[in-house]
Amino acid sequence: MQKSTARLLDEYLVASAQAGSRDAVDRLVRRWHPRLIAHALRLTGERELAMDAVQLAWFAIVKGIAQLKDPRAFPAWAYRITSRACAGEIGDAVARRRLAQAWADESRETAVEPEEPSQLGRLKAAIRQLPAGERAAIALHHFEDLRVAEVAVALAVPVGTVKTRLMNARRKLRAILEGEES
């Protein structure tokens, strides 16, 4: 499906959902859930946190969709709600981890994913090394095809911050992929 056709369909589904169509909401969920999960996973780094955050985001999206003034703004609006839900889930997770650390004086081991041998695998591994803000900016701009202004809305940061994050992320990715240390 072409980007413009997909965006038109999303706009139609948003308008229908605003008019009260449960079918439109169901179709929006089916179309957008994987994207929101991917975004949340990039921000949280953990599948369970990402799933919880997206579930909370969908509650807010469905509850607030009637107040969305422009159906074209749905992608950035949905990503922004998801970003906020991720921030909340990360905060809760940090608090839980501190409590667990206080109870048990053992360090938490993290699993390392094996690197994919392909060039795409190298790129994914390099992106995982970026800070969360830069990771999210790169993914939304390059993988989700959002404009810089839309990324700014989705991440709730100024446009200049998005541009800086994209520039820094590209520089770091280049250094990582060329084998240099940043």
pLDDT tens, 128-155?
A: 888 888 988 888 888 888 888 888 888 8
pLDDT reading at 106 higher than 60:
no
Fold classified for 115-182: Arc Repressor Mutant, subunit A (1.10.10)
* Alpha helices per DSSP H over the chain: 3-18, 22-44, 47-64, 74-103, 119-128, 132-138, 148-155, 159-177
Confidence of residue 72 (pLDDT cuts 50, 70, 90): very high
Domain span(s) for CATH 1.10.10.10 in the chain: 115-182
pTM of the model: 0.63
Give the right CATH number for 1-111 from 1.10.3720.10, 3.40.1280.10, 1.10.1740.10, 1.10.10.10: 1.10.1740.10
Domain span(s) for CATH 1.10.1740.10 in the chain: 1-111
Tokens 């520089």 — which residue?
A: 171
Confidence of residue 27 (pLDDT cuts 50, 70, 90): very high
Looking at residue 153, its pLDDT comes to: 84
Confidence of residue 101 (pLDDT cuts 50, 70, 90): low
pLDDT reading at 22 higher than 90:
yes
| Mean pLDDT for the stretch of residues 57-72 | 95
Nearest to 16 by CA among 64, 86, 76, 65: 65
